[in-house]
Structure 1
């Protein structure tokens, strides 16, 4: 990952922390890295949704003749290491892109109409762009990855917590691995089956993986919709237009007091 982007993310994170302190906001809660009553449910929902949707992508690509399926891993001894990598990458990227960069941008655009959505789009574009350095990366694949950034940004701002985006991110990558797909161009992690791309890469994403193909991109849209349904069920008065669902920490604490 570009070291400059890391420093930019840290800079926006420092900006957010300073702003929170100056405005007497609870810093850790505002950054979304404290547990709350919904954290366990966020993790569960975040793990289940991509696992189910990627399963549908597998079925769709198989039906379209876009993949050939062969036996999966015989040796699962590397699963623990693979899972550790998947969780580690997801946690690092969510802290950098959502907790730090997105938090700072939301403050910067707080007085702009649709500022939260604009912030999500900017961070998602950066998220997709950094994946252009991945093996087998393409512009289409980077766009599909950016759609993932939109999902994680929505999840972070809607819940005001890191748990749902991290769980979604982990599950998306793990599910691709388990169904035998490349994960953003990376291979070698064990899966139930091995899925080899054949034919038009628009249908399978080629060596980059499902997010570089139309079924995978459609899956991203479906996941985003399911995330919005989930947060709307938790907070029925929330607004998709403003991308505000979970209670503001300051207002919530004031009500409790």
Structure 2
């Protein structure tokens, strides 16, 4: 019985082993999300847009689960998931915001100069007929919350736990981080495979996008760069420049465009993330993150503590 128990319980760390922590966390997260969604139908006004309701529910559930799950399952504080917020964190966040906007602007400019984009109008609301500013006001919180939620779950919780699980005997932190980055990024790509207009290429590219987003976390130990990058990458891709965002176009657009050109380059109906130009932007962005990290963090090194469990860290808030 003792040996069977060790399959579930890490005696040294006094907590569940990685697989069981992840299983319990995401099962409870799913149940809590469904419960909150059900309760929200009674709490929120009946005319609240469905996507806005879902966004609020998901954001609250992710924050709650990261706090409670972190304490009970991981034995660590909320801040240890990449939220040691200070001036440096805010600086990294602003860098991430700027980088996401810059890369999508570069994609738009490139396709426009090649004649693959035609501008058909401006300030197109969704649903059609709604005041544009109102439509945009209801949409921006969606993309902001998606940026926070996906990074907290995929990088903050999943990647960190996978890294600790792969770090055998606490002696292979760097290898564990790289393996965890690859595994979490593949999962990130597969989860988006349920989106409209997906293909094998889009799934592979989104997995590479996951590596791109993870890079800022691994080099700084914080989620500031990934969250900022994720937010503006989506907002400038969709509501600003009118591209599909991971196959979705149900949002207002400041610029209404019509695309042509080879799908292998543009990504077609899925958006730039499925095209070679989007892939090139990811590579350039990765280099820029490395340069930023080298300049601001005294060298370009993986934050090995992300793969190392220290029970004493849970005593701090």
TM-score category, normalised to shorter length: 0.7 to 0.9
Aligned to 1:168: 229
Consecutive unaligned residues in structure 1, runs of 5 or more: none
Deviations 1:92-115 (A, max 9, x none): 111111111011011112244522
State how far apart, in whole Å, the 2-side matches of 1:9 and 1:220 are.
33
Aligned to 1:120: 181
Aligned to 1:216: 278
- Over 3 Å counting, the alpha-carbon distance change for 1:53 and 1:245 in structure 2 is farther
Higher relative contact order (CA 8 A, sep 6+): 1
SS in 2 for 1:185: coil
Deviations 1:162-191 (A, max 9, x none): 222111100100010111101111113233
Greater CA drift, 75-84 or 109-118: 109-118
The structure 2 residue matched to 1:48, chosen from 68, 83, 98, is: 98
Aligned to 1:32: 82
Aligned to 1:58: 108
8 Å Cα contact 1:61/1:203 also seen in 2: no
SS in 1 for 2:133: coil
State how far apart, in whole Å, the 1-side matches of 2:176 and 2:112 are.
40
Asked which structure has the greater CA Rg, the reply is: 2
- Over 3 Å counting, the alpha-carbon distance change for 1:175 and 1:7 in structure 2 is same
- Over 3 Å counting, the alpha-carbon distance change for 1:160 and 1:144 in structure 2 is same
8 Å Cα contact 1:9/1:96 also seen in 2: no
Compute the displacement of 1:72 (Å).
2.1
Q: TM-score, normalized by length of structure 1? A: 0.82
Compute the displacement of 1:37 (Å).
2.8
SS in 1 for 2:215: helix
State how far apart, in whole Å, the 1-side matches of 2:218 and 2:80 are.
10
Compute the displacement of 1:137 (Å).
1.4
Correspondence list, 1:147-166, <5 A: 147-166=208-227
8 Å Cα contact 2:25/2:69 also seen in 1: no
State how far apart, in whole Å, the 2-side matches of 1:230 and 1:200 are.
33
Q: CA RMSD in A?
A: 3.0
Consecutive unaligned residues in structure 2, runs of 5 or more: 1-22, 30-65, 125-131
Deviations 1:31-61 (A, max 9, x none): 2123123121112111111111111111111
Q: Are 2:204 and 1:143 equivalent residues in the alignment?
A: yes
8 Å Cα contact 1:32/1:161 also seen in 2: yes
Aligned to 1:100: 157
